[in-house]
A and B are shown apart, each in its own frame.
Chain A
Amino acid sequence: MTAKMKKIRKSREDRIFDGIIYTIAVLLTLIALYPMYFIVIASISDPKAVAAGEVILFPSGLNLKGYENLFQYKQLWTGYLNTIIYAVLGTIICLAVNIPAAYALSRKELFGRKLFVIFYLIPMFFTGGLIPTYMNIQNFDLYDSIWVMVLPFSVVTYYIIVARTFFSSSIPDELWEAAQIDGAGTMRYFITIVLPLSKAILAVIALWSAVSQWNSYFNAMIYLRDDLLKPLQLVLRGILINNQTASAMLTGTAATEAKEMAELIKYSVIVISSAPIMCMYPFVQKYFNQGVMVGSLKG
């Protein structure tokens, strides 16, 4: 009965409006998904067919040579491993330095709180810039070492602000008073009570940190020289932007064939390098969305 009423109430105008909305939405979904779909089908097709424009909706002439070539390309796997090391280590350090600071700033009795807030905020507005920072890293002898990827830039004011907002809005003051009566000090209270209650914000910041380690190449490009230390994104840059595959993997093949193979390798390497994050995404989406929300709160 109510369903029927609703149907009647839907006016002609509303139906047209709905029609437009859904048409646009379907189009946008296609635009969003097709490029990624194309990469996947191109990576398993015959490179000749891809170059000729025969691969549009379906793969043609199943061909896994791109992946085969990549499995033998050691540099890629070293890069992969390095990125995982940097992401794990960087995230641990990031949490270890930012979260306690955020918690301390959320406590009203912190003496000199305003000054500390200013101390953390200044770098959001003013930094030394590229060259002074670069010279400083060299002075500390961190150039070309693992540590430059995980330590010097681990303090992020934005993370501190977000976590502080979380602490001051979700951990009630009464809890601290109760803990004090039970004889707990700040440290013990922070570790045994606050942290377990803050899993949501820990997850959000860990994800942000891990994703930024996974994605960025700039610091690696300017601070790392050793091939054995290079993260995945730098290896990808070599293959995708600087066309380094051709010489490294394809010696001895004919010129045109080598060029086609190089393109196939590019499609394959995009799949290999992006699949983990994309597959992880549905499981962690909740935390990402939460993060956007928390982040939009004023610090």
Chain B
Amino acid sequence: MKGKQKALQVKKRGARGIVERLNKSKSLYLLMLPSIVIFVLFTYIPMYGIVIAFKTYKPALGIAGSKWAGLTYFKQYFNSYQFWPTIKNTIVISLYSIAVTFPLPIALALMCNQMTAKRFKKFFQVSTYLPHFISTVVMCGMIILFTSPRNGIIAHLLKYVGIEFPNVMGQASAFPTIYVLTEAWQHVGWDSILYIAALSAIDPTLYEAATMDGASKFKRMLHIDIPMLLPTASIMFILRMGSVMSVGFEKVYLLQNNLNQKTSEIISTYVYKMGLISNQYSLSAAIGLFNNIVNLVLLLTVNLISAKLQDTSLI
């Protein structure tokens, strides 16, 4: 009886409380309004548009008027000759990238941490960051210019040591390597900032104690720096693994040509070509949705793992 009364009271207070709290948050809602409107109009409405993946979209009939097609377009993609190549290429480029561009920034940060010459250290950092500010288009332009087998600088430099430089842009097998190495050149310095910060947070008394015990610089790096970087590194690694199936469109698309398509056609470039070049809206939307769902599953799994590893999850 008493409990019931109490519950009623709470409920009453709750209802009045809600109005009061809504009223109190009024101005805060106003602050969020522009972003909410833009998000609903341009991000949430397209989520409804995904239904065209399950319909045979005819522009004249509109999204709602087009006929349902069920899973036809998904099956069309799964059975097409481009299904495995696009998935394989996406994963190969992705894993290859992670294998190279994940450990390098850590190595760079460890090195940077060992330098005692302040001026040189600063210069080293600034010059390794700089390539990060080159735009994707310019980067790809540089790659094409440099790798030209007749006029390119790489070919000229290799001539001095007597090596003939092949036409790498025309070889399908070389594409992932070109993509990954240039990616490393451009972003390794930048990506090391995070680790350099983590290293600078290490308590200096640890080093002093180790030096007292006779540990060399190398030993100190091995037994202090590396263990201290592990937590940051493992989060970064997990995050990277979560986006294994989503390779950025911009760089791959610019480096693509007829000769390297066998290894350079990834899911995102295929979605673009099917959709906006061949105008197969429903098929393209279906492939996009498939990729999106795979990414979602990966991200949630990764988040779960990181939640298990740490006390809190990434989100």
A residues with a Cβ closer than 8 A to B are: 9, 11, 13-14, 17-18, 21-22, 24-25, 28-29, 31-33, 35-36, 38-39, 42, 50-51, 53, 56, 96-98, 100-101, 103-105, 107, 109-112, 116, 119-121, 123, 125-137, 140, 151-155, 160, 185-187, 190, 211, 214-218, 222, 233, 236-237, 239-241, 263, 266-267, 270, 273-274, 277-278, 281-282, 285, 289, 292-293, 296, 298-299
Contacts and interface: CB of A to CB of B under 8 A. Distances in A.
A190 B28 CA distance: 10
A9 B134 CA distance: 44
A96 B295 CA distance: 31
Contact of B31 (A190, A236, A241, A289): A190
B43 A128 contact: yes
Contacts of B44: 123
B130 A29 contact: no
A266 B46 contact: no
A35 B52 CA distance: 46
Q: Which bracket fits the contact residues of B?
A: 35 or more
Contact of A132 (B47, B157, B300): B47
Nearest to A188: B27
A153 B35 CA distance: 10
Interface of B is mostly: helix
Nearest to A142: B42
User: Which one of B120, B151, B299 has the highest number of Cβ atoms from chain A below 10 Å of its Cβ?
Assistant: B151
A97 B314 contact: no
Interface in B105-144: 108, 111, 114-117, 120, 123-124, 126-131, 133-138, 140-142, 144
A262 to B, nearest CB: 11
B45 interface: yes
B289 A129 contact: yes
Given A22-B115, A100-B34, A274-B133, A218 B218 contact: no
B249 interface: yes
User: Which one of B24, B35, B272, B276 has the highest number of Cβ atoms from chain A below 10 Å of its Cβ?
Assistant: B35
B210 interface: no
Contact of B27 (A186, A241, A278): A186
Given A131-B49, A135-B63, 19 more contacts: A14-B217, A24-B111, A35-B142, A38-B153, A111-B18, A119-B39, A125-B300, A126-B292, A130-B288, A131-B288, A132-B49, A140-B41, A186-B31, A233-B135, A237-B137, A240-B140, A270-B142, A273-B135, A292-B193
